Amino acid sequence: MEPENLPTEVILTHPRQSLGNVKLDWMPQPGNYLDLEGKTYAVLERRHQYQLKSGRYCLHKVAVYVQSAQRPIEKSLVQGRWVIGDATCRYNALSELLRCVVKPDGPCKLCRDRESSD
């Protein structure tokens, strides 16, 4: 199945409910953001569903589990991937989903615990 025709069910994790089915022209990865009906969601998990056709399994549908989120303003590029916040801080989680334990909602520049990692 071509990515531009990929049927995707969007499922909100809490409270668990389906937000509907959409066709995406890209493969959503955990850490990506998805805009749906004027709201922004962070993709937490992706699951594939396959169907047997002519003796072969083919990708039939994708389910993405999301939570409501705001797109982060602060991002850093680390080894070819974007992470939230200032990656030079020793408390940064180096994650697409979590900034740090000290101030997970950010912003990093106002954090009094910010320390440069050596």
Mean pLDDT by 10 residues, the chain (118 residues): 74 94 89 90 94 93 93 81 84 85 80 77
Domain that holds residue 82: 72-118
33-to-41, 53, 65 alpha-carbon distances in Å: 6, 32, 11
Domain count, the chain: 2
C-beta separation of 44 from 97 below 8 A: yes
User: Could you give the 3-state DSSP secondary structure of residue 112?
Assistant: coil
The answer to whether residues 55 and 18 belong to one domain is yes
Among 46, 68, 90, the domain-final residue is: 68
Q: How far is CA 88 from the centre of its chain?
A: 22
Cβ neighbors of 55 (< 8 A, separation 6 or more) are none
pTM: 0.70
Instruction: Quote the pLDDT of residue 75.
Output: 80
The answer to whether residues 40 and 77 belong to one domain is no
C-alpha torsion sign, points 31, 36, 45, 26: negative
Instruction: Quote the pLDDT of residue 50.
Output: 95
